[in-house]
C-alpha cells in the first residue's frame, strides 16, 4: 500500500490534518491583547480566502475554455479576460500577504480581495458602456467575507460602500446604459436588496467580533488564573519539600496512610550551640534569631552539599541524618564530613560576625526507623536506639568536639583521625567507649 495516502477509513483524519492549519485561529496565549489576536486572525483567514477565490475563478475559467472547445456560441471572451485578470490579481494578493506589507496591513489585502472580485465585472461593463448590478457576485462576496473574516465590521462596510459608490458613480459620471439582471427588477428593489444584505453581513460580523473579544478575554483570564494556580502549586510544592524529603512527599501525596521505613545503615548527627541559653540574654530577640538563622542556614547548605537529610531544629539544636530516605553506601563518611564542615563553618561565621559561638556534635551509626505520623503539622522523624545514642553523644560531649560511638569509629578509622576519649556513662546504656573525630587522614 502507498504510505503517502490514507486508507479509506482515514480520509477524514487526513483531510483534517491538511485543512486545520488554514482554519485554526492564532494561539490566544501568543497574543498580547485582542487587537493583536484579531490582526493575526485576519491575516490567516485572508490567506484562506485568497486561495478559495483563486480556485473558484479557476473553475470559471475552465468552464469558459470548455465553452470555447465544445459550445462556441456560449463562449464569452470578455468574461475569460476578466477572470484571468482577477486570477492574476489574486496571485499578487497571495504574494503581498506573505510580504511585510501584508503582515503589517492585512486590511489592504482584504479590500484588494473584495474589490478585485466585485469591481472587475463592473469595470468591464464600464469599458463596454453599460452598468449592470451583480446580484449574485456581490452578495456571494459579502457573505463569504463575513464568514471567513468575521472581524472589524467597519472594514466590511467600507468594502461594500466602495462597490456601491463605484456602481452609482460610474453610471452618473459616464452616463452608462443601465441593465438590470431581470425585467421585473427596479431601482428601489436593488437598493433595498443590497441594504439588507449589507446590514445582515455587518451585524453578523459585529456580533462575532464581540463574541471573539469576550472569548479572548475569558481565555486570558482563565490562563492567568491557571498560571496563578500553577505558581501557588509550585510554592506549596516548595514548602512541602522544605518540610519533607522529595520521595516521602510524593508518597504522602499519593497515599495519606502512615509512612514508616526501616534503614539498616544510617548516620545520625546532633549538634548544639554551647551555652546558647546563657548567650541569649545578651541579644535582643530579633538579633538572636538573625544569628541563629545565619548559623543554621550555613548548616542547611552543607547538608545539601553532602546529600544529607535535615530532620529538624529544636531551639539551638540541629539534627541531620545520612543514608535515608534513599540508602547510600558512604553514609558514615557523609555524616563525618558534615560534622567537620560544620565546625569550619561555625569558625568562619564567628570571624564574620565577631562572635564566639561553640558547638558540640554527637554522631551514632546504625539502624533507624524513619517516617511520618499524625494528621496535622507532620514532620519526617526518626526513632530507634541509634537516634537516642546520637543524642547522648552530643549531650555528653565536649565543646568544639565531635563525639562518636565505637561502632562509628570502627567504620571510619581507616579514613579519619580519631582520639580515644575512653569510657563514659550514658544514661540508659551504662558505660560506653567513645571517640573524638579530629579530621580526615
Active site residues: 392, 427
Closest Cα to residue 60, out of 46, 48, 74? 74
d(CA 412, CA 410): 6
What is the C-alpha to C-alpha distance for residues 172 and 282, in angstroms, rounded to an integer? Answer: 102
Half-sphere exposure for 266 (CA within 13 Å, toward CB): 28
Query: How many angstroms separate the CA atoms of 400 and 403, rounded?
Result: 10
According to DSSP, the β-strands at 177-178 and 130-131 are parallel
CA 271 – CA 361 distance, rounded (Å):
4
3-class SS of residue 283: coil
Long-range CB contacts (within 8 A, 24+) of 240-249 = 243/379, 243/380, 244/372, 244/379, 244/380, 245/309, 245/325, 245/380, 247/325, 247/326, 248/325, 248/372, 248/380
Count of alpha carbons within 13 angstroms of residue 207, beta-carbon side: 8
| CA distance linking residue 230 with residue 253, whole number of Å | 17
Q: Please state, in angstroms and rounded to a whole number, the distance separating the CA atoms of residues 436 and 216.
A: 69
Supply the DSSP symbol for 262: E
Host H or E run for residue 216: helix 187-243
Amino acid at each position: 500500500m502507498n504510505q503517502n495516502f490514507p486508507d479509506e477509513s482515514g480520509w477524514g483524519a487526513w483531510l483534517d490534518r491538511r485543512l486545520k492549519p488554514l482554519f485554526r485561529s492564532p494561539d490566544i496565549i501568543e497574543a498580547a491583547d485582542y487587537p493583536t489576536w484579531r490582526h493575526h486572525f485576519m491575516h490567516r483567514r485572508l490567506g484562506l480566502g485568497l486561495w478559495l477565490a483563486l480556485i473558484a475563478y479557476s473553475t470559471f475559467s475552465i468552464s469558459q475554455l470548455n465553452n470555447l472547445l465544445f459550445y462556441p456560441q456560449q463562449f464569452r471572451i470578455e468574461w475569460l479576460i476578466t477572470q484571468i485578470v482577477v486570477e492574476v490579481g489574486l496571485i499578487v494578493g497571495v504574494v503581498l500577504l506573505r510580504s511585510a506589507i501584508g503582515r503589517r496591513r492585512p486590511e489592504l489585502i482584504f479590500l484588494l480581495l473584495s474589490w478585485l472580485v466585485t469591481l472587475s465585472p463592473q469595470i468591464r461593463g464600464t469599458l463596454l458602456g453599460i452598468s449592470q448590478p451583480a446580484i449574485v457576485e456581490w452578495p456571494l462576496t459579502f457573505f463569504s467575507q463575513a464568514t471567513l473574516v468575521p472581524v472589524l465590521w467597519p472594514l466590511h462596510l467600507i468594502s461594500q460602500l466602495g462597490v456601491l459608490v463605484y456602481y452609482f458613480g460610474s453610471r452618473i459620471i459616464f452616463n452608462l446604459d443601465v441593465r438590470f439582471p431581470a425585467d421585473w427588477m427596479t431601482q428601489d428593489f436593488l437598493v433595498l436588496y443590497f441594504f439588507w444584505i449589507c446590514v445582515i453581513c455587518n451585524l453578523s460580523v459585529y456580533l462575532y467580533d464581540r463574541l471573539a473579544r469576550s472569548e479572548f478575554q475569558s481565555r486570558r483570564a482563565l490562563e492567568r488564573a491557571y498560571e496563578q494556580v500553577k505558581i501557588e502549586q509550585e510554592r506549596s510544592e516548595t514548602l512541602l519539600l522544605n518540610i519533607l524529603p522529595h520521595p516521602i512527599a510524593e508518597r504522602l501525596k499519593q497515599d495519606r496512610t502512615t509512612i514508616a521505613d526501616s534503614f539498616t545503615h544510617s548516620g545520625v548527627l546532633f549538634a548544639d550551640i554551647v551555652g546558647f541559653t546563657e548567650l541569649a540574654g545578651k541579644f535582643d530577640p530579633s538579633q538572636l534569631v538573625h544569628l541563629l538563622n545565619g548559623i543554621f542556614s550555613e548548616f542547611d547548605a552543607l547538608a545539601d552539599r553532602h546529600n544529607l537529610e535535615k530532620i529538624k531544629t529544636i531551639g539551638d539544636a540541629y539534627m541531620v541524618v545520612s543514608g535515608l530516605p534513599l540508602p547510600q553506601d558512604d553514609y558514615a563518611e557523609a555524616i563525618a564530613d558534615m560534622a567537620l564542615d560544620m565546625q569550619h563553618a561555625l569558625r568562619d561565621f564567628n570571624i564574620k560576625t565577631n562572635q564566639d559561638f561553640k558547638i558540640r556534635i554527637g554522631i551514632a551509626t546504625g539502624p533507624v526507623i524513619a517516617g511520618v505520623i499524625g494528621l496535622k503539622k507532620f514532620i519526617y522523624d526518626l526513632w530507634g536506639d541509634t537516634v537516642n545514642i546520637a543524642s547522648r553523644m552530643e549531650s555528653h560531649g565536649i565543646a568544639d568536639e565531635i563525639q562518636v560511638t565505637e561502632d562509628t569509629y570502627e567504620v571510619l578509622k581507616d579514613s579519619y583521625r580519631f582520639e580515644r576519649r575512653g569510657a563514659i556513662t550514658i544514661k540508659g546504656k551504662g558505660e560506653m567507649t567513645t571517640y573524638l573525630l579530629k579530621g580526615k587522614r
